[in-house]
Amino acid sequence: MKSIYLDHAATTPLSKKALEAMEPYFCETYGNPNSQHVYGREAAKAVAEARQKIAACIGARPSEVYFTSCGTEADNWAIKGAAAQYRDKGRHIITSVIEHPAVYSTCKQLEKYGYEVTYLPVDGEGFVSPESLEGAIREDTVLVSVMYANNEIGTIEPIKELCEIAHRHGALFHTDAVQATGAIRYDVKDLGVDMLSMSAHKFYGPKGMGALYIRNGLRMEKFMTGGEQERAHRGGTSNTPGIVGMSVALEEAMSTLESDGKYVAKIRDRFVKKVLDNIDEIYYNGPKDASRRLPNNANFSFRYIEGESILYSLDLAGISASSGSACSSGSLEPSRTLLSIGVPIGTAHGSIRFSFGKHNTEEEADYAVDELIKTVKRLRAMSPLYKEKK
Ligand SMILES: *Cc1c(COP(=O)(O)O)cnc(C)c1O
């Protein structure tokens, strides 16, 4: 495919090292890790080692890492599991308005089952304020779930602080760290969270693999009833190659986290500067302070034109970006996240997310910027709204 890939927040290419590590577990060491023979033992050993590696990467103990089929499953489990386990204590859950659908829709579903959910607002850069959490938390709040880093505008939330507030009031704390894992160095014990979700395909691991960290000692309802896998909390035959690939990809991402972060941020910053220098009537969405934003994320709203038209033109020019998030594009609803940070509804429709990766080059970013500038000029020249205003 001859297109410049600037959509790493949607998914990343699989690391070659991870692919190589996965290879033997398809056709050779294919045993069921639960089987009592050499095939099973070999597979079980690989799963155990992978669990250890992942635990070490996030400061957890291996017994605190539960494999799931994706980040969405990890989020569903954290929220529904805690809601079910602690329903006699209370039925109030707190989350934020900018959560990924994996959390947001799960909370919406729980509302149908009699739970009450408070959706915390965010400021103009997408930050949840500790004060707003303090104000919303109640006696019957059982769970607070706030994402570590936002998938659309890259905002890194003050997780440690939010978690302390939840705990002070006797509530559990979960964070969707799908965008953060592999991009931000963290330690679950230092953060203090009770649960944390991650997804392999966001850090150059295989698709269809996720994990939920559940703090030891926390009692959690099972998500998938079935066999004894994942300490009898998540039945289903383990995806040995996926698990191995995920662990190798995460180790690799952690080993070069700082240098990769610096590299993509440099490309991103150069890209953003050129866009802002050459295009007027534009919002650069998300935090201005680079230390509080994912290094790979850039998100813009272009007034007077449609994001879908920009995206289509870029695609023709050989540039793959995204309007909003992959999970909500396809729908004509403007992004909930952008509306929450105050982007006017018409302008929110003209939004594009560029998310860079470690294989992108400066030349690619330069080419993308040039095409973007041309595209925006051309579309605006055809826009009656833009002409009227001039
Ligand atoms: C991608 C993403 C998810 C979903 O992960 P999948 O593994 O694709 O199900 C959840 N939360 C955030 C913030 C994401 O970016």
- Tell me how far apart the alpha carbons of residues 340 and 97 are, in angstroms, rounded to a whole number: 7
The atom of ligand 1 lying closest to the CA of 201 is 7
The pLDDT value given to residue 385: 83
Q: Which of 27, 57, 107, 327 is catalytic?
A: 327
Task: Give the list of residues 6+ apart from residue 47 with CB closer than 8 angstroms, or none.
Answer: 33, 67, 238, 240, 243, 244
Check if 176 has its Cβ closer than 6 Å to any atom of ligand 1.
Answer: yes
Instruction: Tell me how far the alpha carbon of residue 378 lies from the centroid of ligand 1, in angstroms.
Output: 34
Check if 71 has its Cβ closer than 6 Å to any atom of ligand 1.
Answer: yes
φ/ψ of 284, rounded to 5, equals -95, 105
Instruction: Tell me how far the alpha carbon of residue 151 lies from the centroid of ligand 1, in angstroms.
Output: 8
Neighbours of 359 (CB within 10 A): 12
Check if 202 has its Cβ closer than 6 Å to any atom of ligand 1.
Answer: yes
Every domain range in the chain assigned CATH 3.90.1150.10:
4-12+257-389
The pLDDT value given to residue 390: 66
At residue 155, the 3 state secondary structure works out as: strand
Q: Write the DSSP assignment of 230-279 as a string of letters.
A: HHHTB-S---HHHHHHHHHHHHHHHHTHHHHHHHHHHHHHHHHHHHHHH-
pLDDT under 70: residue ranges of the chain:
1, 324-332, 390
Q: pTM (2 decimals)?
A: 0.97
Percent of residues in the chain assigned helix, strand, coil, to nearest 5 = 45, 15, 40
Please tell me the CATH superfamily of domain 4-12+257-389, with its number.
Aspartate Aminotransferase, domain 1 (3.90.1150.10)
The atom of ligand 1 lying closest to the CA of 70 is 7
The pLDDT value given to residue 247: 98
Q: Of 307, 283, 276, give the one whose Cα is nearest residue 379.
A: 307
Instruction: Tell me how far the alpha carbon of residue 74 lies from the centroid of ligand 1, in angstroms.
Output: 9
Every domain range in the chain assigned CATH 3.40.640.10:
16-255
- Tell me how far apart the alpha carbons of residues 293 and 75 are, in angstroms, rounded to a whole number: 22
Check if 307 has its Cβ closer than 6 Å to any atom of ligand 1.
Answer: no
Instruction: Tell me how far the alpha carbon of residue 199 lies from the centroid of ligand 1, in angstroms.
Output: 6
Check if 199 has its Cβ closer than 6 Å to any atom of ligand 1.
Answer: yes
The pLDDT value given to residue 386: 87
User: Domain 16-255 adopts which CATH fold?
Assistant: Aspartate Aminotransferase; domain 2 (3.40.640)
Question: Catalytic residue at 163?
Answer: no
Check if 212 has its Cβ closer than 6 Å to any atom of ligand 1.
Answer: no
